[in-house]
Amino acid sequence: MNERMSQSKEKSFRFAIRCVRLYLYLRDNKREYDISRQLLRSGTSIGANIREGLFAQSKPDFLAKFSIAKKEAAETEYWLELLKETDILTPEQADSMLNDCRELIRILVSSCKTMGNKR
């Protein structure tokens, strides 16, 4: 496993932990259930798809899993932006998560390009 793959595995796992904690905070303190569940689902799916991709049986299988992870990261970015713009999260709370999410997106885009998927 190269450094970028190891980095994506570790960063996506740490991000998933942050998503779980944010979900619990939103559920318990803000009584926000719908968006927080969507965020939990998409935010934890990023790492799950990366893990699957790392054990892919072929290059197309790898690209498929990393492309799904990239789409899940984009969806997570959307939910975080929505939570920020509706003042459910403070800009500080949202921006910290958004920065991590956008870093994952950059890593995934780069990984997909390196493996031959130009989208």
- In the chain the domains, ranked by start, together with CATH numbers, are 3-114 (1.20.1440.60)
Q: What pTM did the predictor assign? A: 0.93
Q: What angle do CA 96, 7, 113 make, to 5 degrees?
A: 100
Question: Above 70 in pLDDT, residue 39?
Answer: yes
Please tell me the distance from the alpha carbon of residue 23 to that of residue 111, in angstroms, as a whole number.
Answer: 28
Q: Could you read off the pLDDT of 65-88 as tens digits, one per residue?
A: 999 999 999 999 999 999 999 999
Q: Residue 51 — very low, low, confident or very high, per pLDDT cuts 50/70/90? A: very high
